[in-house]
Amino acid sequence: MCACVVLVVGMVAAVNLAVPMLAASALHPSAPALVWLVDTYVLVFACLVIPGGAAGDRFGRKGVLLGGLGLFAAGALVSALAPDVGTLLAGRALTGVGAAAVLPNSLAVLLHAVPAERKPATIAAWASMTGIGGVAGNVGGGLVLTAGSWRWLFAAAVPLALALVALVARTAPVSSRHDRRLDPVAAVLLVGASVALLAGIIQAPEAGWGSTFVLTAFACAVVLFVAWTLRELKAGHPLLDPRLFRIPGLRSACLGMTAVFFGMFALFYVNASFLQYAKGFGVLGTGLGIVPLTLPIILGGRHVGVLTRRIGLDATVALAFAFVGGGLLGLSTSDTQTSYAAYAAWLVVTGIGVTLALPTLSGVIAGSLPPAQAGVGTGLQATTREFGSALGVAVIGTVMTAKFADALPPDAGGAHTVAEALARTTATHDVVAAFVEGADAGLRVVGVAVLVLGALVVGESRWSRTR
């Protein structure tokens, strides 16, 4: 079950390493298409993870888990063989559907398989795989991409998923089914609203913030989110009850979780290209280059509870956002002359913030709900994490593209990707400098946003406690 989690979470991180290869490939994706190639998987994953858990309850967790691994393998194969950007996007979406079926049901199978006294340790081990999956995705993805083609990244996922199908089929127990209601209409409304929101953000640099397309996308997002909310409010057994967000602690913790992953995955998107374009790292070196971020998580995670009891919940959360936002702002000062040691130091600062935030916010979400709704809490955490990740990639990709295009030399004007600009001019240094300027601007925007969101989280938590 832990290997299943590592596979689906690792794919979120690994694809960022392939962005420079994809940009220079024969597919010739535009700048918005590059963002969609990262975000499609994450977005579908985020919106369907709760329906995926409900499907497991109704049709059998082992069967849905096996089906999810099969869809994951099929989507990866379509992606590896894709002749054009549209097919690649379809493959990424199919892979995301599979991941949404795998993640919640891997935990459900585990909890059914172990005795009651081992469940807390089992949940902790399962949860730690999300962090390990990010590291495995970066390092493993870097190793695979040294073969020289982005297609190998997706091709390598196929035998891994099929091997897990065989292993799960042989070892996982069959659990009882529950007559849990499924609502595909609500799931479609949530996916549609999220796609419309990100479409407006991602297309804005090329189409313009005031363009008909962007304004229509934002209007559709509002209408679809309202329609989803009304449908869930009327449902007798909603998949995700919007009324849960009336609980102040739950509401602020979900916003905090979204904000942390917003910043972290915006960094992942920039880091992969920055280390390759600006520092000249290979894909394996780039995958290893993010490891300093994970050191505080590995070494300090078990001490966070002690710190929270000593200084209080609000102080711990405030400190977490100060480190995450401050680390991103520190990284925004990096350029081609910055040593990797200085860059890695800011990664550690950001990692300290992530280490403080994740267990603290997870504990608040879990503690805000009764034990009977533990599954809802797990689904909420997964949804907020993945949605924040998709939003972070969309926002930083948008800011980077706009600033990069403005900073390009005249003979490369009109280009929106580094590969496109390098094909138009021989001024390689100027193109890299424009990319660094765009990356720094994106990190500044995301860093400030994380600090502002963190202040809102802490402020609401204190206000609700005062009330």
80 to 6, 90, 216, 313, 414: CA distances (angstroms): 20, 11, 33, 45, 30
CB-count burial class (<10 Å; 0-12, 13-18, 19+) for 302: exposed
Binned at pLDDT 50, 70 and 90, residue 4 comes out as very high
CA–centroid distance for 310 within its chain = 31
Tell me: the pLDDT tens digits for 17-68? 999 899 888 998 888 888 899 889 988 988 888 888 888 878 888 999 999 9
The angle that helices 31-59 and 85-113 make with each other, rounded to 10 degrees, is 30
Alpha carbon distance 199, 211 (integer Å): 12
Q: DSSP code of 301?
A: G
| 23-27, 102-106, 122-126, 243-247: least confident range | 122-126
Determine the average pLDDT of the residues in 208-231: 90
CATH topology of domain 246-467: Growth Hormone; Chain: A; (1.20.1250)
Alpha carbon distance 293, 167 (integer Å): 32
Position 76 scores a pLDDT of: 96
Domain ranges of the chain: 1-177, 183-238, 246-467
64: its two tokens: 């849905």
Alpha carbon distance 158, 186 (integer Å): 30
Q: DSSP code of 290?
A: T
Give yes or no on whether 1-177 and 246-467 have one common fold.
yes
* Residue 374: pLDDT over 70: no
383 to 88, 366, 376, 391, 409: CA distances (angstroms): 24, 14, 10, 12, 41
Alpha carbon distance 58, 427 (integer Å): 59
Tell me: the pLDDT tens digits for 176-201? 776 666 778 888 888 898 889 888 88
Look up residue 104 and give its amino acid.
P
Beta carbons of 322 and 353 less than 8 angstroms apart: yes
- At the top level of CATH, the class of 1-177 is mainly alpha
| CA-angle at 457, arms to 358 and 461, nearest 5° | 100
Alpha carbon distance 250, 300 (integer Å): 25
| 107-116, 118-127, 147-156, 391-400: least confident range | 118-127
Alpha carbon distance 427, 408 (integer Å): 10
Between these two residues, 237 and 223, which has the higher pLDDT value? 223
